[in-house]
Amino acid sequence: MTPPPTATVPGGRPEPRPEPRVEVHEDARALATSVAGELLSRLADAQSAGRVPQIALTGGSIADAVHAEVARLSPASGVDWARVVVWWGDERFVAPDDEDRNALQARRAFLDAVGVEAAHVHEMASTADADDVHAAAAAYSADLREHGSGEFDVMMLGVGPDGHVASLFPHHAELDVDDRIVLGVLDSPKPPPLRVSLTLPALNRARSVWFLVSGDAKADAVARALGTSDVHETPAAGVHGSEETLWFLDRAAASAL
């Protein structure tokens, strides 16, 4: 009997978490539509309950497809984007108008279209706003502590073929940082090398963690993340929501399960 998953939270203590659930879709488009619909539904439910939900976006190609579907489905959803707070799990430390910016990707795909409050969109610093990744990380940590609610409603994460999430990569020292919520990365194996990322404990400060994974290149990483607890081998294995962890997969990404 495998023990229930645990998640490391700030201060380094492990907390038991619910078992992950897996949802498999025919292809990337169906996956993106499902995630976008589920996100809008969660946001509307939170707002109906009088709350201002806080979500964390991720970068990458399936995230971009999800963002486009959010833009398409949002008008009929009843979500008031003026009452949603947006964060990122990681960001590339490049110029603000660099195509590599996760925030630029999200703004173009949906944020600029849905009427989100500018003050509620918390971008990680670019090279125009901070001297280096460490200063950018410190600034985001201060922003989170001042404007965050202590726990994200939904933390969305892409997964790399090596099992990385955000900018936390296998066998990198950042995986063991449990006394900070944001850190700077100098040597990302996935270009660009300079990044800012939430730490594992911060990624785990989420009610609901959603992994968005498409393509057979990720199949082994998905199988490892769902079958092991070795965070250093597969960082995605170390992130679990306090209320739920959902794996949104297409058939190709689920092919090794």
Ligand X SMILES: O=C(O)[C@H](O)[C@@H](O)[C@H](O)[C@H](O)COP(=O)(O)O
Give contact residues for ligand X (rule: CB under 6 A). 58-62, 90, 92, 102, 158-160, 164-166, 190
Min dist CB 58 to ligand X, Å, is 5
CB atoms within 10 A of CB 71: 17
Chain residue at closest Cβ approach to ligand X? 158
Q: Which helix (H) or strand (E) holds 62?
A: helix 61-73
β-bridge mates for residue 24, sequence order: 249
Min dist CB 83 to ligand X, Å, is 25
3-state secondary structure of 208: strand
Min dist CB 197 to ligand X, Å, is 8
Percent helix / strand / coil, the chain, rounded to 5? 35, 20, 40
Considering the complex, state which of residue 79 and residue 165 has its C-beta at the smaller distance from ligand X.
165
Considering the complex, state which of residue 153 and residue 162 has its C-beta at the smaller distance from ligand X.
162
Tell me whether residue 173 is exposed, middle or buried, using C-beta atoms within 10 angstroms of its C-beta: 0 to 12, 13 to 18, 19 or more: exposed
Angle 164-133-232 (CA atoms, 0-180°, nearest 5)? 25
CA–CA distance, 20 with 17 (Å, rounded to integer)? 9
Considering the complex, state which of residue 58 and residue 141 has its C-beta at the smaller distance from ligand X.
58
Min dist CB 75 to ligand X, Å, is 26
Considering the complex, state which of residue 64 and residue 79 has its C-beta at the smaller distance from ligand X.
64
Who's near 76: CB < 8 A, 6+ residues apart? none
Min dist CB 9 to ligand X, Å, is 20
- Is-contact 195 133, C-beta < 8 A? yes
Considering the complex, state which of residue 46 and residue 141 has its C-beta at the smaller distance from ligand X.
141
Considering the complex, state which of residue 115 and residue 161 has its C-beta at the smaller distance from ligand X.
161
Who's near 122: CB < 8 A, 6+ residues apart? 85, 86, 87, 88, 140, 143, 144, 147
Min dist CB 44 to ligand X, Å, is 25
